Amino acid sequence: MIYSPLAVKICGVDFKNPVITASGTFAFGFEFSKLFDIDKLGGISVKGVTREKREGNPGPRIAETYGGVLNSVGLQNPGVEVFINNFLPFLQSKKAAVIVNIAGNTESDYCYLAERLSGTGVSMIELNISCPNVKEGGLAFGVKPDTIQSITREVKKRSKKPLIVKLSPNVADIAENARAAEYGGADAVSLINTVRGMAVDADTRRPLLKNITGGLSGPAIKPIALAMVWQVYNAVKIPIIGMGGIMTANDAVEFILCGATAVQVGTGNLINPLTASNIIDGLRKYVEKNKLGNLQEIRGKLLID
């Protein structure tokens, strides 16, 4: 890899910069590639992939709220075989690292997906045990430390790729859950996934989402995400990929100061498709302005009196 002040290595995988597009907000990259050169990205975490095709939850399943978006999409996707055959070749033709977010209803689903994807050219696997939109599976695995450790251990046995465990904020102790993932063999953790929430129409007296509750993302959850990244940074030794309301380069820097090695940009992509690209440009300016040799020099260097 050509030296860059933004370059970072995570679990042996080279990223030209620490900006990754978050799962569920960038699909498989096709649409965004028509708007900007996605080779510019450090990485792409693809839309959650399951063993079989999923239609997702019934609509309405997206609702705006103050400072964010509520979604209950329900992991709509074409299934792992269609992803590998129809979408992965396009992603592999790009220079960004490819992270495949996997989800399932049972432990065997996750294990199958990890093993199947290990034989492909993907860079990393992101274990989504924290999605609050699937009634069975997802949330149950991601709440208790013992189940996190157990499923991480079993999936890690089948994965030849570095394994990221994506953590839910809807828990009693995020640091304890991160330690459980680390003990289970996770190579890295990503956090935070969406915060459970709901929206109501006062006139119709009905919830705005058909599923009633959904996952809140966007700037509204950034303070929660920063606090949890800081907690986890002080609890584990493995790399952290931070996310939650990152809209600008300064937002990304705040996460790195709190201990994140890289960041994922999610809801920002829906507001402005060029958000991730603009953040990369902003990070270059930040490095130059602050005369840093590499952005990682400030990782975890939050100044506390």
Q: What residues act catalytically?
A: 131
Structure tokens at 266: 């999610």
SS3 of 169-205: the string is CCCCCHHHHHHHHHHCCCCEEEECCCEEEECEECCCC
3-state helix, strand, coil in the chain (%, to 5): 35, 20, 45
Nearest residue to 216 via CA among 258, 245, 242, 190: 245
Structure tokens at 78: 């074409």
Using the CB atoms, write b or e for 45-83: b if 16+ within 10 Å: bbbbbbbeebeebeeebebeeeebbbbbbbbebbebeeb
Cα–Cα distance measured from residue 88 to residue 84, given in angstroms and rounded to the nearest whole number: 5
Nearest residue to 253 via CA among 224, 217, 214, 280: 280
Cα–Cα distance measured from residue 159 to residue 163, given in angstroms and rounded to the nearest whole number: 7
Cα–Cα distance measured from residue 17 to residue 261, given in angstroms and rounded to the nearest whole number: 10
Question: Reduced to 3 states, what is the DSSP secondary structure of residue 74?
Answer: coil
Structure tokens at 294: 């590499």
